[in-house]
Chain A
């Protein structure tokens, strides 16, 4: 059986890893390549690098960084942030990324998913969705959660799958940054409705939170940032505990 994956997420600004606390007050936590190499050694199954640079210069720096990451680490990695065209995706693929993630641009133009998938395969395309619960309905947001949309989470996830997404990375904006657990029930419903893998993101605060989203939430992978970056939960300890709890993980 395919192992459940543990994925540290690194937000990168001008080549340095930062972690946004509610997307404000960004703090630098380390060198993006060195941190990736360390995570790979510790047993991370995959890495996600998100470019949060706003400037053109920052974007160019990111492509160079992706090239260095690809040379440095020996596990798969996804890159995202500001990918708006097939050409953006091609540049990152050429630099060595295994997958790209699209978010706001896919909502603005859903055909982007199919165009990238047709050229490079579904396995290359992760559709990232940020959503929050409004009046009992899960609604998608864009631009880091700052802009509401008319799209409903489950309908959009199904559409993304039909258009050629290889995976869905769903972040609950209601849970992100709280460290109070993932939106387990929402992931369980996504698993029910989709045939492609789902990555859970937002809310990890403890080993138990991660176990729950992988088992009760039926997520294929759990993504987290701060609990890993600040050493709160070392990955070897996390995986040993998950294994003891009967979760199929790579040790």
Chain B
């Protein structure tokens, strides 16, 4: 069926044309509506095409070769189950972001810096997922990176954004370099860059190991694995909010796609020890990401750190799938892989929703600092409800979707005592504990976000005067909130849709869920474990209704408003509330010493001294300090030394050239 791949490539072509059109439209007033309208429509078409492919019972793959790219293989594109699933994620995210952009984009101060790159970014992500040879893949990957970099730099005059863009650019180049080497190793000396050729070759175990390392560097740096995550909390928040949502919710998933494509599809049989590395990095990423999020005051940076956590969860699950696959446990591998893919989808839903919510708050108040917000539940009734849904979902609480995928990950962990290797036996429970810790901290983190931003009393004039945002933004957020609810209530249907994807990668899918009574989720067997989001939702709703009904029939209905209890103080100012920082203080005391070398200094003036008391908290980014800072220092040192070579006389240059020539010849002579 070349029809759907042709259609998808056509969509990409239209997106690219839209990007050029956006340059042409320039500053015209209707440009925002036109561009986002077109991208929304195109994303919807591509979404339908990808969904048809994913849900198509035949599961046939279609390929297409264009006479572009490397002359001896052309540009190959392929639509299979894996790419169909990720196309669904990309285009769903893209479509909803466009819808949000229709409203949010009208507040943009420099639309000319956003509009051309937004469709280009969408096109780049679609192309990565469709690419079927190394050249096309890398080209699309770089295109995606550069267009998103341009979006990060949209507000380049705001403090910190230029640095964010620079670090992003460096890390993206580094990642692409790693990918380039990985594909070079896979293609071998004959230059078999088409994925078809790479798949056909049996790779040496050294090559497999190197490729795994390079993919962890290349795809991992884009996805935000610790310690390659440093650019992510800087760059994602710097972009306009709907682009942040795309970068966090979707682009990191494209990186996950790259990892799955190479490691599960192209390389072939994995080594069991490689799974330990992936799982450990994933677990560390999850815990470190969410701890960093908890310490954050800027709402968008907090969300970016939380993305790092979720990527960690996904990689843990992928690592489990590798471990099971290496030991021939196909059903368990399918369970772990399905859990990972389900979490990919869920994270795309709720992280986009939360970034949109942050964008809405930014529109309404102009603030990203949570300590200057508060009480928005009174001012923004709809946003506060959908944002609550997002917070609830990302905290992995039933009956929403985040819990369904984390539950599957835990079920996969419980399959692992059957693994023969001792290293894995010791690793898996530890990683399970880390995941559980990350999930619990995530709940704390999003209680902090919601409690500080939407509850309590407003902490600034901007928060007092906040207004609900436009209908397009609300529609986009409501769609995502409903999807969170639906995926949580009917996880079995999602698992069924993912089954062909797992089947194509690990040779087995989970048993069909749609026929199970009451639409329960039963990954292995009912005697082992089952979960029914729909029933839990129904039970809780029913019990709550019963309680409300009973109370309103029999109990007192009197309500009186009064001031909150303030220990007898006459008036409580908004600054006397608990702030986000104070909310996180107990957790900082427990984990901060280890993770951030957190240090509290209290300056308490003596009695009679009229100075104000001060509490200073210093936290250090240990990843930056221990890895990146030395590299930066090293580069500076070398650059300084080499700087001396820049302004020499011609005689000195000639003598250096002569010395270099002699040295080279000597080396050659000795070698031969």
On whether the two chains bind one another, the answer is no
